[in-house]
Amino acid sequence: MKSLSDNIEDYIKSLLEANSTIKIQRNKLADKFKCVPSQINYVLKTRFSVERGYIIESYRGGNGYIKITKLSLDINQNLINRLYNIIGNYINQKQSFSIIERLFEEDIISFSEKSLLKTMVNRDSIGLSLPARDKVRARLLKNVLETLLREKG
Amino acid sequence: MKSLSDNIEDYIKSLLEANSTIKIQRNKLADKFKCVPSQINYVLKTRFSVERGYIIESYRGGNGYIKITKLSLDINQNLINRLYNIIGNYINQKQSFSIIERLFEEDIISFSEKSLLKTMVNRDSIGLSLPARDKVRARLLKNVLETLLREKG
DNA sequence: TAGATAAAGGTCAGAGTAGGTCAGAAAAGT
DNA sequence: ACTTTTCTGACCTACTCTGACCTTTATCTA
Residue type, B63: N
- The pLDDT assigned to A65 comes to 97
pLDDT at A152 (0 to 100): 64
Q: What is the pLDDT of residues B36-65, one digit of tens each?
A: 999 999 999 999 988 788 989 999 999 999
**Of A10-19, A85-94, B2-11, the least confident:** A85-94
pLDDT computed for residue B153 by the predictor: 54
The residues of A between 17 and 56 with beta carbon within 7 Å of nucleic strand D are: 35-36, 38-39, 42, 46
- Decide which of A70, A92, A120 is a domain's last residue: A70
Instruction: Place A82 in a pLDDT band, splitting at 50, 70 and 90.
Output: confident
Mark whether B66 and B81 lie in a shared domain. Answer: no
Q: Is the pLDDT of residue A100 over 70?
A: yes
Residue-range definition of the domain harbouring residue A35 = 4-70
A112 against A41, higher pLDDT: A41
Is A66 in the same domain as A87?
no
Mean pLDDT, chain A, as a whole number?
90
Q: What is the pLDDT of residue A153?
A: 57
- The pLDDT assigned to A73 comes to 65
Whether A75 shows a pLDDT value over 60: the answer reads no
Q: How many domains does chain A have?
A: 2
- Residues B107, B43, single domain; the answer is no
CATH of the domain at B140: 1.10.1200.150
Q: Does B101 touch chain A (CB under 8 A)?
A: no
Is pLDDT of A69 > 70? yes
Is there a single domain that holds both residue A103 and residue A41? Answer: no
**Do B144 and B82 belong to one domain?**
yes
Point out the residues of chain B with pLDDT beneath 50.
Answer: none
Say if residue B10 is in the same domain as residue B59.
yes
Do A24 and A82 belong together in one domain?
no
Strand C within 7 A of B24 CB: yes
- Top residue of A1, A120, A148 to mutate, by most chain B CBs within 10 Å, is A120
Spacing of B85 CA from C26 C1' in Å: 34
pLDDT tier at A74, thresholds 50, 70, 90: low
Find, among B146, B153, B54, B96, the residue nearest to A115 by Cα: B146
Whether residue B19 is found in the same domain as residue B82: no
Of the candidates A70, A96, A119, which is a domain's last residue?
Answer: A70
The reported pLDDT for the residue numbered A76 is 60
- The verdict on B146 and B92 lying in the same domain is yes
Say yes or no: A92 and A108 in one domain.
Answer: yes
Residue from A96, A129, A147 whose CB has the most chain B CBs within 10 Å, to mutate: A147
CATH number at residue B8: 3.30.56.130
Query: End of a domain among A70, A98, A114?
Result: A70
Picking from A113, A116, A139, the nearest residue to B127 by CB comes out as A139
| pLDDT for the residue numbered A55 | 93
**pTM, 2 dp:** 0.79
Residue B24 near residue B49 (C-beta atoms within 8 A): no
Q: Are residues B81 and B148 both part of a single domain?
A: yes
Give me the mean pLDDT over the A5-34 stretch. 97
B114 at A interface, C-beta within 8 A = no
> What does the pLDDT read at residue B73?
67
Whole-number Å distance between alpha carbons of B122 and B13:
40
- What residues have CB less than 8 Å from B28, skipping those under 6 apart? none
Q: Does A55 touch chain B (CB under 8 A)?
A: no
Q: Are residues B65 and B115 in the same domain?
A: no
